[in-house]
Structure 1
């Protein structure tokens, strides 16, 4: 279930990409699903690939996960467009790559910054109270809204070398 919020947010960004693209070409924005479907299908495949990679990123809101989803969404979406008889001109490929990169990786970068800030605040509070604060034992998951048991202090220290996207300080 922890994958669902990231998948939904990514799908919303792909839909926004399609609406903006159609509107910028003065096409009917209501037909955005025609533009979006290849990228939505590729997005689902991207999440599946990210989840199944042997050395995969562990969290769907991590930058590594987002990079896998982004690359698969762009390449898969373009291939599906071509196979279905649509065009994939160079300018469209460049714009789609940049916009989807900002959308699919960008929100994860913001989340990483917020998690880092929350961890620093929690560490400062724990240092001031001797670690006896109400949140001293579990870190919250800002995306799913629930505690992430793999984010406890011993795991953070053990994962520091293997997960540079999850700061411990």
Structure 2
């Protein structure tokens, strides 16, 4: 199977999956922004390069794992059980990848930050994914 054929089974080219990607990036972006602003007294808007440097490993790791895991398919929005049941293990895989990338980019990561990003970053991402499933379901009549 070619790479393009494999990716076609892992990514549905639709507005809903494009929305998932945008929402994922915004959720991770909010996590990093709030962490810098309130946890480190940094000003992400005043130093956008530092913000992007902190955000990059999380987005790259998440998108790579999400694509491989089929989280950009319409099936990922089929139910809360599927949406969150797929996103949680994907986050747990993406997290050490992100921190590995973080070490490569900035030279370090703290154990406390690994725990905080697992819990808080995961809450942002899984909360967004739960909202996406909820919004994608037509109301029962």
1:36-69 Cα deviation digits (max 9, x unpaired): 01111112102212128xxx99225711232244
TM-score calculated relative to the size of structure 2: 0.69
CA positional deviation for 1:115: 6.3
Larger Rg: 1
1:46-101 Cα deviation digits (max 9, x unpaired): 2212128xxx9922571123224422332211110112243221111111011121
Q: How does 1:45-84 map to 2 (within 5 A)?
A: 45-51=64-70, 58-60=75-77, 62-84=83-105
Q: Which runs of 4+ in 1 moved over 4 A?
A: 111-117
Cα RMSD after superposing both structures: 2.7
Which structure 1 residue ranges, 5 or more long, are not aligned? 123-169
1:7-36 Cα deviation digits (max 9, x unpaired): 110001111111111112012313310110
CA positional deviation for 1:111: 4.4
Which structure has greater helix proportion? 2
* Greater length-normalized contact order (CA 8 Å, ≥ 6 residues apart): 2
Which structure 2 residue ranges, 5 or more long, are not aligned? 1-12
TM-score calculated relative to the size of structure 1: 0.59
